């Protein structure tokens, strides 16, 4: 397995204030190994250290302690070389306000050495990919938040990065634009095998796009894994709610390891199970065995949002 990013014992602090100096430790020994081609999420509450982590990996900030390697190379000694293969898009990006969308894109593409026909072809490709053609001649300061965001994403692809760092890519986007933006990001990942590290506060977005997620809080990674495994680890489970007619007995479920909680009333029951896809047939077998007539079945799945809340507490 080839490694795209290797972070070991990373510490980073900020010192602010000119009279009374205040020190804030943003990252307190972060370890993370990201394989090439992965699409991972970095989640966590405000101020957890997510943007700081992406900024260090993209060499915008220097590490204070620890080691950061990108495609096997140390960012302290090979920063220039690494920068050719990575790019970052921030949800709060700022561009040269008086230049148009096309001019801004051209500016960044030229920084990576593009000129002439290859430059024009690249700009056309990106304007097309992010549906920016109609805005090509519009000045940055006249754009809506969503269009600025699209420009930020297209700018991040001018160098065909092998590693793409996305800091809250869908912040401020309407649901329709956000969905199309997610599809485009997934397309970039699937077609080019781009390694992507993305921060987001949108848990549905993380669940849809990210194969694995790291939860960061107070500058340390608290948990890491596939969304489903994290749900299992926290025993969050899914609730199966059944309304029925008749006299029900559910003792066989009481000592079952995949049942986390059980509550039976006169005409309804709530069963908290590890995974409803697997367990619903078994639960229904019990009802059928006792010839109980089922009136209604409702399932409430726990999701990454529940995992987020559990880790953020
Ligand atoms: N330039 C800076 N000067 C001083 N403190 C900073 C600076 N940048 C970040 N911090 C502090 O470092 C900590 C981590 O900030 P960071 O921006 O990485 O958090 P985050 O997880 O991205 O939060 P959010 O979800 O709000 O974007 C915060 O306490 C923040 O106040
Ligand atoms: Mg941030």
| Per-residue confidence band for 306, with pLDDT thresholds at 50, 70 and 90 | confident
Element (H, E) at 48: none
| Per-residue confidence band for 236, with pLDDT thresholds at 50, 70 and 90 | confident
Residue with CA at minimum distance from ligand 1 atom 6: 14
pLDDT at 269: 93
pLDDT at 237: 87
CA distance 66 to 39: 24
Distance 46 CA to ligand 1 centre (A): 8
Residue with CA at minimum distance from ligand 1 atom 17: 51
Ligand lying closest to the C-alpha of residue 15: 1
Q: Which of 11, 30, 50 to mutate to test the pocket of ligand 1 (most atoms within 8 A of CB)?
A: 50
- The full set of domains in the chain, from first to last, is 3-227 (3.40.50.300), 232-312 (3.30.70)
CA 289 to chain centre: 44
Residues with CB under 6 A from ligand 1: 14, 16, 24, 26, 44, 46-52
| Per-residue confidence band for 17, with pLDDT thresholds at 50, 70 and 90 | confident
The SS3 assignment for 56 reads helix
Strands 22-35 and 238-245: unpaired
pTM comes to 0.88
Cα of first residue to Cα of last residue in the chain, in angstroms, is 35
Per the structure block, which two tokens stand in for 120?
């024009």
């Amino acid at each position: 397995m080839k490694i795209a990013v290797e972070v070991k014992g990373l510490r980073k602090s900020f010192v602010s204030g000119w009279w009374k100096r205040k020190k804030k430790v943003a990252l307190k020994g972060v370890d993370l190994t990201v394989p090439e081609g992965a699409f991972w999420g970095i989640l966590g509450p405000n101020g957890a250290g997510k943007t700081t982590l992406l900024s260090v990996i993209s060499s915008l900030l220097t590490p204070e302690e620890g080691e950061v390697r990108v495609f096997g190379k140390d960012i302290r000694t090979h920063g220039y070389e690494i920068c050719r293969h990575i790019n970052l898009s921030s949800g709060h990006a700022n561009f040269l306000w008086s230049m148009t969308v096309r001019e801004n894109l051209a500016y960044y593409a030229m920084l990576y050495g593009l000129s002439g026909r290859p430059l024009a072809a690249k700009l056309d490709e990106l304007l097309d990919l992010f549906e920016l053609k109609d805005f090509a001649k519009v000045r940055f300061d006249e754009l809506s938040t969503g269009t600025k965001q699209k420009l930020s994403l297209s700018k991040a692809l001018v160098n065909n990065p092998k590693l793409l760092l996305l800091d809250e890519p869908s912040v401020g986007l309407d649901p329709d634009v956000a969905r199309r933006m997610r599809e485009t990001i997934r397309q970039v990942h699937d077609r080019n095998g781009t390694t992507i590290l993305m921060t987001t506060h949108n848990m549905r977005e993380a669940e849809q796009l990210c194969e694995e997620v790291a939860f960061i809080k107070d500058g340390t990674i608290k948990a890491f894994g596939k969304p489903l495994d994290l749900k299992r680890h926290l025993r969050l489970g899914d609730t199966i709610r059944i309304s029925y007619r008749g006299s029900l007995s559910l003792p066989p479920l009481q000592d079952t390891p995949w049942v986390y909680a059980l509550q039976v009333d006169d005409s309804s029951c709530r069963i908290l199970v590890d995974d409803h896809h697997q367990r619903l047939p078994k639960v229904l077998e019990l009802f059928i065995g006792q010839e109980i007539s089922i009136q209604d079945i409702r399932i409430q799945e726990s999701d990454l949002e529940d995992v987020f809340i559990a880790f953020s507490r």
